[in-house]
Amino acid sequence: MPRSKEQNAALRAATRDRIRSAAVTLFARQGFAATGVEEIAREAGVSTGLIYRHFRTKDDLFGAIVDQAAAGLDAVVERFGGDGPADRLLRDFVAEVLADLAGGGPTLDFYLLLQQAVQRDTADPRIARLLDRQAALISATARLIEQGQRAGILRPGPPGTLADLLFATLAGLSQLAVIRGADFTPPSAELVLAALIKEAP
């Protein structure tokens, strides 16, 4: 029995996701220039021809990954602008990032990809957009920290510097996750946020 239009669309979307996932892992860990389309195909478990049916060039594939990462950053910015106490929003976010790092999930690849993107070509408008969205996330985090300080649940200090400190810590932990591999054990969200969240009286 032939597949329906919906089934074909779902299959195409799943294939694109597999290709993107394989590519982001290889780009992040080997670099864009050192990664061939054949390697991506092997990692994704598809043919090279199938990759070219979904993405005209390796550069187009990289652009799709950068766009997806930028959209992910936008989702966190929106989340930080939502309802809820600042300490809970920060704790939930950091706990998710740490769980992802421990499991070798996409957060780890995102941090490595961000480094590759900067080294590749900051004049590329897609990479400039990714860096702009990362800056927007840091600004949103600083605003959330300021809100928590006004509510008396976060420690005093320059909100922008505290936001930088948080993301520098997460980026550093991502590097440790790569270096240590299976031996990496992330700290708790509470420990990562100790410089931000006041202890309960």
8-state DSSP, 187: P
The packing angle between helices 125-150 and 86-102, to 10°, is 130
Q: What is the mean pLDDT of residues 36-52?
A: 92
Whole-angstrom distance, CA of residue 152 vs CA of residue 146: 10
Whole-angstrom distance, CA of residue 187 vs CA of residue 146: 25
Q: Which residues, in sequence order, are bridge partners of residue 197?
A: 154
Check whether 195 has a pLDDT greater than 80.
yes
Find out whether 138 and 161 touch, Cβ atoms under 8 Å: no
User: What pLDDT sits at residue 129?
Assistant: 82
Helix (DSSP H) and strand (DSSP E) numbers for the chain: 9, 0
What band does 24 get if pLDDT is binned at 50, 70 and 90? confident
Q: What is the mean pLDDT of residues 116-123?
A: 65
- Tens of pLDDT along 129-170? 888 888 999 999 999 999 999 999 999 999 999 999 999 999
Q: How many CB atoms lie within 10 A of CB 189?
A: 19
Higher pLDDT, 30 or 121: 30
Find out whether 187 and 98 touch, Cβ atoms under 8 Å: yes
Higher pLDDT, 118 or 4: 4
pTM check: above 0.85: no
8-state DSSP, 3: P
> Among candidates 99, 95, 133, 89, which has minimal Cα distance to 113?
133
Higher pLDDT, 114 or 58: 58
What band does 2 get if pLDDT is binned at 50, 70 and 90? low
Q: Among 47-51, 114-118, 192-196, where is mean pLDDT lowest? A: 114-118
Which residues have C-beta within 8 Å of that of residue 113, sequence separation ≥ 6?
Answer: 24, 27, 28, 65, 66, 69
The packing angle between helices 58-80 and 86-102, to 10°, is 150
The packing angle between helices 159-180 and 125-150, to 10°, is 120
What band does 193 get if pLDDT is binned at 50, 70 and 90? very high
What band does 111 get if pLDDT is binned at 50, 70 and 90? confident
